Amino acid sequence: MKIGRVIDSIWCTRKEDELRGLKLLRVKLLNREKESENGEIIVATDLIGAGIGELVLLTNGSAARRSEGLENAPVDCIIIGIIDEKNEDEGDIHE
């Protein structure tokens, strides 16, 4: 799995039928120790209510279609958890 931070949502007026009703979020991957190494931006489906700015856990590939309601969706990446960020005086996971 990978860690990322939600940037914003995107909209597609024209799309595959199986994509209807699915929330699509742009997420910046945080997979490098140095924040300066530009993280890749990907798009993930969200079923658990992630908000902009939140730190999320992402799963890729066929694992993304294990969730109820996504069995037939043409998605290859979903948000499976909102990561609990540590208090500032303990040190953040990223930043």
Binding site for a second copy (CB under 8 A): 1-3, 10-16, 18-19, 24, 26, 28, 30-34, 37-45, 47-49, 57, 59-67, 72-78, 80-84, 93
Helix (H, G, I), strand (E, B) or coil at 29: strand
Closest approach, Cβ 27 to a second copy, in A, equals 10
Closest approach, Cβ 7 to a second copy, in A, equals 9
Q: Which is nearer to a second copy, 10 or 52 (CB)?
A: 10
From CA 38, how far away is CA 68, in angstroms rounded? 33
60: Cβ–Cβ under 8 A, 6 or more apart, which residues?
Answer: 1, 2, 76, 77
Contact between residue 81 and residue 59 where contact means Cβ atoms under 8 Å apart: no
Closest approach, Cβ 49 to a second copy, in A, equals 7
